[in-house]
Structures are given as structure tokens and as C-alpha cells.
Chain A
Amino acid sequence: MEGVSYQRFPKIKVREVKDDFMKFELRDTDASIANALRRIMIAEVPTIAIDLVEIEVNSSVLNDEFISHRLGLVPLTSERAMSMRFSRDCDACDGDGQCEYCSVEFYLRVKCLSDQTLDVTSKDLLSSDHTVVPVDYSDASSSFDNTPNKGIIIVKLRRGQELRLRAIARKGIGKDHAKWSPAATVTFMYEPEIYINEDMMESLTLEEKTELVESSPTKVFGIDPENKQVTGKCMIVGNPSAPPGIPLCGSRWPNMIWDYASGEIPCLFFEKVIVVDPEAYTYDDEVLKKAEAMGKPGVVEIHAKEDSFIFTVETTGAVKASQLVLNAIEVLKQKLDAVRLSDDTVEADDQFGELGAHMRGG
């Protein structure tokens, strides 16, 4: 009864990994998988964020709601989130979201006593769980700027103003509220395949080539610096039997014109248009339009490889970029598991099937 498998075996190549950034290639699968992963990274990988705020004292210039909203948007380290419970289906607590399985408590107690304005920042938030703290954005590598890193500013207090509150952070997903989204940006692009028709390209003048190269708004093409135009005399190494006046194809310099007229052999190297960075191409078609306008359609051909994707993932710091991808795969697996047919659905259909067959007189 089991059908044949139509499974694919996608490949991944990691290009760059940093804590909050990564770039990788995904191959041998289709856009639906790539897009599902992207959508899940943005909206369905869980993180922890402040969700409930009880304000004791607030004599700052910002109102309670305003401060609560700002607190919610502060990214918290969320490595624990995957194993935590959603407070709505936590049975250890009665839904008030104050137990260790589904929530983390924060306190904020600040009062300005000096004449100088006091910045209340994410660093003033005291967590009940050392694994869930506001993300530290101080960059160890940029030690040259000596401005002390003070975290994310929540509110500023003047002399005598005070802010005292208790906040509860919960697990959630970006679909619920964007504050729970671990992703800053997640994008993927089709890998472009760019072909230059060399023969047709050589029929262009230098000006035309430069024009073509510069028609692309991003730097996709360039002129090969190693193949700058040189006119002079040189000896031919290969293929001396080729007819005069014809480019020596297949030789080291395919564009060399060979002329017998002089005793020596003058030669001419043309500039070669090369692809500098195929991934800079934004699928804007500008080069293709230019080629068309120059009466040389087909001099450059560009295809999107439909089974190769280049992903860039940036996170808010709540989870590492590499972990975000792994979590996304895990979440997608859980989702697929949830949409499996339940046994009673199958059973009901089996009965229906018999009934249907009976009714059809079979």
C-alpha cells in the first residue's frame, strides 16, 4: 500500500556565521521549502519577551502603557524558549503566567536623585532567571569608542522622578506579536546564472562594452583588468596554420587577429567583459534591456536557478542566527507532525468508503 518515496535530499553550504548573522546556500529543493523556512524564522520560532507589566510607581514623563510597550520590545536572550511552555497551555500554574515553566519575572526600580538626567535602560531590568536577560549589545571588537554601553533606553528621569515595576516575560511567537520575532531580517534569493556570449561580446566596441557594464545598477559585470587592450607585435605560439585575419579560437588569446601582411605578427587583445559578482544582480533586467537597445539581444543571458537559494539571516540577538535556522527546521517538523491525519479521521473515511461502495451498488 505504501507508495514510492518522492523525498529530496537538499544540500546546505554555510558561507558565513557570526552570532547574529549568517549566510548560507540551500540547494536541491524548491522555493516552497525555502519560503516556509523564511516565514517560520520570522513568525513562528518562539522567543521570550515581556508580556505583562505591573506598575507600582511611575512619575516619569511617559505613561504606563507607553513604558509597558517599550519593555515588551526589549529583546531577551531566548535559548530556553524552545523548551519552555506557552503560558496558555502550562498546567503547572493556573494561567497567571508566574511559574518557572512558562514565565520569567523582572523587576525595575529606579529613582533619579541627582540634577543630571538619569537614563533608565534595559540593563536596569533585574531578572529572576540568569539565562533570560536583556540582550547585551556591547561589542567587544569596537573597544576604541569609549562610550559606556548602557543598553536600550526605556525612559529618562529628572530629579525626583521614579519608576518601579514588576514585569513578567513569557514565551510567544512573532505571529502573535512582532516583539516575539527573533528575526531582524531573513531573506533568500535565487542563485543567478549569468552567461556571456563571448563571440557576440567581441563584436562590441570598447565604448559599447563599458556602456553595457555600467548599465547594471549594481556591480555585476566588470572589464577584466588582465585583458586590457594591448596592440603590438608578438609571436604566435599555437595554431600557425589558421587562415589570416581570423581570430585564433581556442588559443590563449582567442581575440588575437593574425595578419600575414607584415613580416611580424601584430596582435590585438580586446577587453574582456567578465562577471564580477553574480549575486549582486537584483533581477532588474537593466543589462538585458541595454543589450536589446544596442541591437545585441542575447549577448548576456541570465537565468535564476530554481533549485538554489542564498539565504541571509539576521537576528535580534534573542537567539544565535545558526540556532534560529535549526529552530525553524524543528518548528516546521512539529507543524508537519500536527497536520498528520488523526486515526479517527481515517476510520470515519473507511466506513464512508464501504458505505459509498454499497450505495454505488458495488
Chain B
Amino acid sequence: MNAPDRYERFVVPEGVKKVSYERDTKIMNAATFTVEREDHTIGNIVRMQLHRDDNVLFAGYKLPHPLQYKILLRIQTTSQSSPMQAYNQAINDLDKELDHLKSQFEGELAKHTRDY
């Protein structure tokens, strides 16, 4: 009867920020990003992309609790970069990768349907 709505799992509530950012108070160039209503799908690809960045010293994510629909992404970088810069770069690279993937797939599909 008092079950929360199912869409609460993936719709960001009003007044809540999708991504919030909090600097680490003790470590230089370290920060935690809180991403609302996301899970391993986004967390893991962003983390792995960050690992490809030479300026990233640490990148990790966690899903704190299965009923808290958010992930925490922690990044520490060298002084050449910043967590925010690394985060933006990772997303841009992933976006370009997916663009490439899409055109590859469409090309292959066209080749395959022509062969019929």
C-alpha cells in the first residue's frame, strides 16, 4: 500500500541535482561525484575510461546501497589535471566512442542486409 512508485528508481526527483560534486577536504585534486539515479551501467564505464587517463591516480565508484538509487564516483588526479577535467574528458571520449560504434554498426548492418 505504501510502496514507493517504481519510477523513483530512475527519475531524478524535483530539486535534486543529477550530478553533484564535492572536493576532498584533505587531499589535493581529489573529489567525489554523486550521480543520482544511475547504477553500474554508467559507473563502470566512466571508471574504466578514467583508468585510461594517465593523469588519473585513482578512480572508483560504488553503489552505496541497492535502495539508494545513486552512485558515488571518486577521482584523484595529478596536479596536471583536475577531477572535473578528467570526468569531462572521460565522458567526451565515451561519447565519441559510441558515435564511432554506431557508425560501425550501421555500416556492418548495411553490408549484411545487402548480401541477402
Q: Contact residues of A with B, CB < 8 Å?
A: 1-3, 5-14, 17, 24, 29-30, 32-33, 35-36, 39-40, 44, 88, 173, 175-177, 322, 325-326, 329-330, 332-333, 335-342, 345-346, 348-349, 352, 356
Contacts and interface: CB of A to CB of B under 8 A. Distances in A.
A102 to B, nearest CB: 14
Given A33-B45, A176-B10, A329-B102, A322 B109 contact: yes
Interface in B75-116: 81, 84-102, 104-106, 108-109, 111-113
A173 B9 CA distance: 11
Interface of B: 6-7, 9-11, 17-21, 23, 35, 38, 40-42, 44-49, 52-53, 55, 81, 84-102, 104-106, 108-109, 111-113
B101 A10 contact: yes
Contacts of B44: 32, 35-36
Contacts, number: 134
A322 B113 CA distance: 11
B41 A335 contact: yes
B59 to A, nearest CB: 12
A6 B45 CA distance: 13
B11 A32 contact: no
B45 to A, nearest CB: 5
Contact of A341 (B7, B47, B88): B88
Contacts of A175: 9-10
B95 A337 contact: yes
Contacts of A1: 85
B95 A326 contact: no
B61 to A, nearest CB: 11
Contact of A326 (B7, B41, B93, B106): B106
Contacts of A30: 48
Given A326-B102, A339-B35, A349-B23, A13 B18 contact: no
Given A336-B91, A336-B98, A12 B104 contact: yes
B48 A32 contact: yes
A176 B7 contact: yes
A195 B41 CA distance: 34
A14 B106 CA distance: 10
Given A35-B44, A40-B41, A3 B86 contact: yes
A24 B17 CA distance: 38
Interface centre among A11, A14, A30, A340 (most CB of B within 10 A): A14
Contact of B91 (A5, A13, A339): A339
B32 to A, nearest CB: 12
A34 to B, nearest CB: 10
Contacts of B45: 32-33, 36
Contacts of A40: 41
Nearest to B95: A336
Task: Enumerate the 6 nearest inter-chain pairs by beta-carbon distance, A residue then B residue, closest first.
Answer: A32-B48, A6-B52, A7-B93, A14-B108, A32-B44, A32-B45
A66 B46 CA distance: 42
B6 A176 contact: yes
17 contacts: A1-B85, A5-B92, A6-B53, A9-B100, A12-B105, A12-B108, A14-B111, A33-B101, A176-B10, A332-B41, A333-B102, A335-B41, A335-B42, A336-B94, A339-B91, A346-B84, A349-B84
